[in-house]
Amino acid sequence: MPEPSTHSKKLQWKWVLISMVLYAVFYLLPLLVLANVAGVLAFVWLFAGIIIIAGVVGYLSKEVTIVEPAIAGAGLMVLFLVGSIVFIPRQINMQAAIVATGITSVGVFLLSLLGSWLGERAQKLWRPKPAEVAPKQ
C-alpha cells in the first residue's frame, strides 16, 4: 500500500512565521553577540546558522516544509534592510543597499533550502514511524 503523503501543495504560512521567529532569536541575536566577541565564530555562524535553523524547522514540522524556511530567511533579510534604513542615522546608498540585500536574500534562500531539505531527510530517517495497524480478521 502506498505511503500517504504529508506534502501540502499550499504554502504553510504558519511555518514561515515560526521560521522567521527562530531566525530572529537563534540566528540574528547570536550573530550580533558573536560579532562583538569572536569574529571568526560569527563568520562561521553566518552560514552554518541558516542551515541549522532551517534544518530544525524541517525536522520539527510534521508536514514537508522545505520552501517555508527559505521564504522566511529571505524575508528576514528584507526586514533587516528596512530596519537598517529606518534606524541607522547615517546616509546610505539605497541602490547599493538594495543590490546587497537582493544578493544576500538569494544566498539565504538557497542555504535555507539546503537546511530544510536536510531537516526533512533527518525527519524521515530518525523520527519513529507510527506503528502500522494490522487489519482485523
Q: What pLDDT digit, counting tens, does each position of 52-99 carry?
A: 999 999 999 988 899 999 999 999 988 888 887 787 767 777 788 888
Instruction: Write out the three cell numbers for 31.
Output: 550573530
Check if the beta carbon of residue 69 is closer than 8 Å to that of residue 133: no
Which H or E element spans position 121? helix 94-126
pTM for the complete prediction?
A: 0.81
The domain ranges of the chain are: 13-126
Which of 132, 117, 92 lies closest to 1, judged by CA? 132
DSSP 24: I
